[in-house]
Structure 1
């Protein structure tokens, strides 16, 4: 997914400069972490005394809430966070399946491979800004049923949060993020 949407944007001629280069920066650290996790699993499966000692430690950790949560996050991929430079805790993470009050789910909005702007602000302050990218991202507004705090989020076609704003989203910050990930408006 990470590479696919970036290739599509490049083929369609609206990818910003360097978009394809972000694949290596984002995915290679994840690949290295998966390799380390696999190495740890192999070490734990060894039938020698060292492997048995590791198995005992793992059993003890899995007996705790924190240990179980840690393993679940590693196995499910929910601990993955790309370094996209944003300060908001959602930026770089897979977007939660947010649901608007009218029942619309983020997953439903993402079916066509476009980016998504979810504007939870009362005054729909990002609507005008989002119009410049309407061929590359869908705008949806309304209150969230499962409010996680942001006033708006920009979600890439691969489901990763590219930008998140507070209760009064900064239009200029949104526009910078939109240019970074979706190219110039109207391109």
Structure 2
């Protein structure tokens, strides 16, 4: 076999090996549910409004110094297509140098979770760039943003006690807390 033929055989073998590895990786990602919303393990009460969810979290955790974003401004704040969500409630800090936020969105269709999550992450990233210069502590809190999904609700929490807010959210929509 000539050197040229050996190079061709090696090149083809390498390309085939790469293709086989790529197919295996894609199969594993599909099997793991890549691109699908996180699965719900518990039944949720879909009759609860996003207002009730956010108001309960704010009340239980004693948040203060925050204001509700008007329904007309939510689309500007998050740039989420109104066709994707049936309800939205957003509360943010009254202070310009604070990134505190509790928001809840109710999806029209579970299949749209990845689109809504993408818009949320874009919003958080844009805020992070601005806040890093102003207030490093708040910037760290923004990096620890929690996005919790429990069909059909998506909760966004930027606070110093995200875990408590997530627990309150899950308990409320799964009926573990009386209304």
TM-score range, shorter chain: under 0.3
Give the TM-score normalised by the residue count of structure 1.
0.26
Q: Which protein has the bigger helix share?
A: 2
Q: Name the larger-Rg structure.
A: 2
Please give the TM-score of this superposition, normalised by the length of structure 2.
Answer: 0.27
Higher strand share: 2
